[in-house]
Amino acid sequence: MEEAIYKVHLEDIFEGPMDLLLHLIKKYEIDIYDIPIALITEQYLEYMELMKSMNIDFAGDFILMASTLAQIKSRMLLPAHDEENDDEDPRLEIVKPLEEYLRMKSVAEQLAERNLLWEDTFVRNHGQEDHLINQEDEIIKVGLFELIDAFQKILKNISPDIRLDITADSISVKDRIAQIVDVFEARGSITFDELFSKNSDKSEVVVTFLAILEMVKLGLVRIVQHVRSGVIRLFYL
Amino acid sequence: MEDIKNIIESFLFVAEEPLTIDRIKSILKQAEINEIQNALVELSEEYEARKGGFILREVAGGYQIRTRPEYREWIKRLIQPKALRLSKAALETLAIIAYKQPIIRNDIEHIRGVDCGGILRMLLERKLTRILGRKEIPGRPLIYATTKQFLEVFDLKNLKDLPTLEEIEALETESPENSTREIFRIETFEKGKNT
């Protein structure tokens, strides 16, 4: 029955508003090229209520889609102004993305059905991770705390008289990343210290450090430290 | 060269990654490209005919000996490689990048309708995708593309080896139910069970 209590695996099903829409379309066996917008909007809102009552947090995306649906619904109600300018079906606004989304979903399924390496088929070397393990005695992966330590050392090296300078042309983290990437493109790897020029002021140092953190987060670089020398080196991935 | 096929086979046995024809040619200088190609085809056919434990696959622009998928369960008892285990959401994101690359995060999220930041980072970490650079538009967003590793993992010769969108649509019209089935899983909660 409709009223059945659903146990919803949020991450499995309604990962986003598109998923919820697709679910409704499938549930009511709707042709996506002829969506009864009033029904869908109503059902969509009902689900949002249901999710709310189950204390499921939903992101703003869900609300945005609800408002899009409501807007389409109201546009459908408006009479067309003149015959010539009979605009495209307002529903296209969601039909096109839905089509695209469905297409990508089936592409994803096709990909999953292939003979995946390390899942269905295997090769003789057991993945690149092995190489990393072999190097483990020489270098270690650097954690956040080692980075912060190294950063503090750099900060200490800034001469006090420069430290209070206010620079006019400060550089953004984004631009600094671009600069660092340029260096990487040319050299492939760089030591942590090299990234901080001797006469840079505090804001530059901070920006550079934030840039490094951001790059790590984006998976752009791998940071390792030599066990004996303690030199931290960044590798471009 | 008489034993070119054997030499190439020995290369394939030793090589750590898919071996390109160019690489083989760079070693077997006197061999013609088509000689190498023929040898590879022959090897592949021999493995097929033999129905043994491995096959020759053309992946990521090269050739690689891989185990026959039928024996996956046995191999997993021998070794425990890091399984790929991509979630549906991650697969979808990867599919979008594969088909639409080069693509920026905003466009990916537009198609999926949800934030993809975490997934994008994970795909980068697993080296299935990479950053091509930044798009010269306001905000200079990162541009994403797939990697060679992606081709290797998904057993693809190259990006053109991906089924075309037309092929996928044709497949869908053949079995319209198939494409969306299994996507939605709602478990009816039965009282008394699972308590």
Domain boundaries, chain A: 17-113, 129-236
CATH of the domain at B144: 1.10.10.10
0.80 cut: is pTM over it? no
Assess whether B105 and B60 both reside in one domain. no
CB–CB contact B154 A111 (8 Å): yes
Q: Which residue of A has its CA nearest to B16?
A: A125
Higher pLDDT, A125 or A34: A34
Q: How far apart are CA B7 and CA A229, in angstroms?
A: 44
Query: Is a pLDDT exceeding 90 seen at residue A176?
Result: no
Residue B111 is nearest to which of A7, A104, A119, comparing CB atoms? Answer: A104
Domain presence at residue B152: yes
Domain presence at residue B62: yes
Q: B13, B96, B181, B185: best mutation site toward chain A, by most A Cβ within 10 Å?
A: B96
Residues paired with residue A226 on neighbouring β-strands, in sequence order: A139
Name every residue whose Cβ is closer than 8 Å to that of residue A40 and which is 6 or more positions away in sequence: A21, A24, A25, A28, A30, A69
Question: Number of Cβ pairs closer than 8 Å across A and B?
Answer: 171
How far away is chain A from the Cα of B28, in angstroms, using its nearest Cα?
23
Higher pLDDT, A63 or A133: A63
Assess whether B92 and B173 both reside in one domain. yes
pLDDT tens per residue across span B19-69: 999 999 999 999 999 999 999 999 999 999 999 999 999 999 999 999 999
Average pLDDT across chain B, whole number = 84
Domain presence at residue B13: yes
Q: Can you give the C-alpha Rg of chain A in angstroms?
A: 27
Domain presence at residue B189: no
Assess whether B24 and B73 both reside in one domain. yes
pLDDT recorded at residue A236: 80
Q: Which residue of A has its CA nearest to B162?
A: A111
Assess whether B68 and B95 both reside in one domain. no
Q: How far apart are CA A62 and CA A101, in angstroms?
A: 16
CB–CB contact A237 B127 (8 Å): yes
pLDDT tens per residue across span A5-60: 444 444 445 677 888 888 888 888 888 888 898 889 998 888 888 777 766 666 67
Residues of A in contact with B185 (CB under 8 A): 9, 12-13
Q: Could you give the residue ranges of the DSSP H alpha helices within chain A?
A: 17-27, 37-53, 60-77, 92-113, 129-135, 144-157, 160-163, 173-187, 202-217
Domain presence at residue B188: no
For chain A positions 183-212, those within 8 Å of chain B (CB to CB) are none
A104 touches chain B (CB under 8 A): yes
Measure CA of the first residue to CA of the last residue in chain B; give whole Å.
71
Average pLDDT across chain A, whole number = 76
Single residue among B77, B96, B129 that ends a domain in this structure: B77
Query: Is a pLDDT exceeding 60 seen at residue A71?
Result: yes
pLDDT recorded at residue B188: 33
User: Which of A123, A128, A122 is closest to B12 using CA atoms?
Assistant: A123
Per-residue tokens: A91: 């529903």
Per-residue tokens: B156: 């693809």
pLDDT recorded at residue B73: 92
Prior bond of B141 cis (ω within 30°): no
Per-residue tokens: A41: 């909007």
Per-residue tokens: B101: 């690359």
Q: Which residue of A has its CA nearest to B166?
A: A103
Distances (CA, A) of B6 to B11, B39, B48, B88: 9, 9, 17, 42
Assess whether B117 and B164 both reside in one domain. yes
Assess whether B14 and B65 both reside in one domain. yes
Domain presence at residue B136: yes
Query: Is a pLDDT exceeding 60 seen at residue B85?
Result: yes
- Structural domain span for residue B148: 88-180
Q: How far apart are CA B69 and CA B67, in angstroms?
A: 6
A67 touches chain B (CB under 8 A): no
pLDDT recorded at residue B176: 44
Residues of B in contact with A119 (CB under 8 A): 72, 83-84
Question: Crossing angle for the helix pair B88-100 and B117-125, nearest 10 degrees?
Answer: 80
Assess whether B67 and B151 both reside in one domain. no
Summarize the confidence of residues A231-237 as an average pLDDT: 82
Residues of B in contact with A181 (CB under 8 A): 133
pLDDT recorded at residue A137: 38
Single residue among B31, B52, B77 that ends a domain in this structure: B77
ipTM exceeding cut-off 0.90 for this assembly = no
CB–CB contact A118 B121 (8 Å): no
Share of chain A above pLDDT 90, in %: 7
Per-residue tokens: A45: 């809102």
User: Which of A103, A7, A98 is closest to A56 using CA atoms?
Assistant: A7
Single residue among B77, B98, B119 that ends a domain in this structure: B77
Q: How far apart are CA B183 and CA A9, in angstroms?
A: 12
Domain presence at residue B195: no
How far away is chain B from the Cα of A75, in angstroms, using its nearest Cα?
22
Plot region of B29 (φ>0 → left; ψ -120 to 50 → alpha; else → beta): alpha
CB–CB contact A126 B112 (8 Å): no
How far away is chain A from the Cα of B170, in angstroms, using its nearest Cα?
11
CB–CB contact B112 A18 (8 Å): yes
Residues of A in contact with B179 (CB under 8 A): 102, 105-106, 109
Query: Residue written as tokens 């997993």?
Result: B76
Least confident of A85-94, A174-183, A198-207, B183-192: B183-192
A110 touches chain B (CB under 8 A): yes
